[in-house]
Amino acid sequence: MKPVLIKDWLFYFIMDNRPIGIFDSGVGGLTVANAIRQILPGENLIYFGDTSHLPYGDKSPETIQHYSAGITKFLLEQDCKIIVIACNSASANAFETVKGMTGNKAPVLNVIDPVVEYVTKYNEYKHIGVIGTKSTINSNTYADKIHCKDKGYIVSSMATTLFVPMIEEGFIYDDISNAIIRTYLSRHELNGINCLILGCTHYPIIKNQINKFYNFEIDIIDSSKIVANALRELLDKNNLLSGKNESVEHKFFVSDITPAFKIISKMFFEEDVDLKLQNIWD
Ligand code: DGL
């Protein structure tokens, strides 16, 4: 953290313009990165999408921990001041691994804790639905964390395994996506829920259709803005906010690159993204 002398030497502002490190198994975490740049426009971002190992959703916890450790090492080498695990599968299975590596060099934020805080804050939801990848749902992390707050919540979790490949294949507002969404969400596992957590950073892309399925009658909890707000609080608490930053720079790295990633990354980040190939395992 450097004190910087501003204008006429009257004021010192504490600012830390080191980048925020964000990672996901692929481009889904760009939904979180997008919310972060909107809520924290002065922050520099370094995004890593592990596209060569995508999807994490069907990997074992050990494999997800191994990949997350490699990415964390890379982000720390880039001098990131904080690490955001913008992937539910990695948040559920590798949070302790990442924290163990960063120690007191950089705080770590996962995407699950801020959502659990949010849904349990006002005690207004009694029956909470959670959808995500197999590795997130099998970890039971959402239900465990929600029950740590209050055992009275009913939590119904369901893996919606086809959602990620469906989104990555571009099936979003069509008959195929509508059929897949309707088939999963009609299952008895989710009967009676009064809110639904989108426990995968890909899912905000299909939030509208999920809302339509429920006729906008239940709250659909999308983690991106919740996580970006939690990040702002965490940066503030640790005196890590960037302050005034007139040369904001975002860098995007992926471990494998295809034209498809380039196209869908725009959909997740809502503007052109210059993806750079970075192999961190060789
Ligand atoms: N975006 C990842 C998540 O939030 C899912 C994609 C994958 O399976 O790798 O879990």
pLDDT, tens digit, 9 for 90 and up, residues 134-172? 999 999 999 999 999 999 999 999 999 999 999 988 888
Taking residues 178-186, what's their average pLDDT? 98
Task: Give the confidence band of 15 by pLDDT, cuts at 50, 70, 90.
Answer: confident
Asked if pLDDT for residue 10 goes beyond 60, the answer is no
Nearest CA to ligand 1 atom 7: 55
Find out if CATH 1.10.3720.10 is the number for domain 12-110+225-277: no
pLDDT of residue 8: 39
Q: Out of 50, 56, 268, give the residue to mutate to test ligand 1, the one with the largest number of ligand atoms within 8 Å of its CB.
A: 56
pTM: 0.93
Q: Does the C-beta of 55 come closer than 6 Å to ligand 1?
A: yes
- In Å, what is the CA distance from 67 to each residue of 62, 63, 97, 209? 9, 6, 10, 32
87 is catalytic: yes
CATH 3.40.50.1860 spans which residues of the chain?
12-110+225-277, 113-224
pLDDT of residue 2: 53
148 is catalytic: no
CB under 8 A, 24+ apart: contacts of 232-236: 232/39, 232/40, 234/82, 234/107, 234/109, 235/20, 235/40, 235/43, 235/81, 235/82
Asked if pLDDT for residue 11 goes beyond 90, the answer is no
pLDDT of residue 173: 87
Asked if pLDDT for residue 204 goes beyond 60, the answer is yes
Nearest CA to ligand 1 atom 8: 57
Nearest CA to ligand 1 atom 6: 55
Residue 280, token pair as written in the block: 């961190």
Contact indicator for 158, 184 with CB cutoff of 8 Å = yes
**What CATH number is given for 113-224 in this structure?**
3.40.50.1860
Q: Does the C-beta of 164 come closer than 6 Å to ligand 1?
A: yes
Taking residues 249-275, what's their average pLDDT? 90
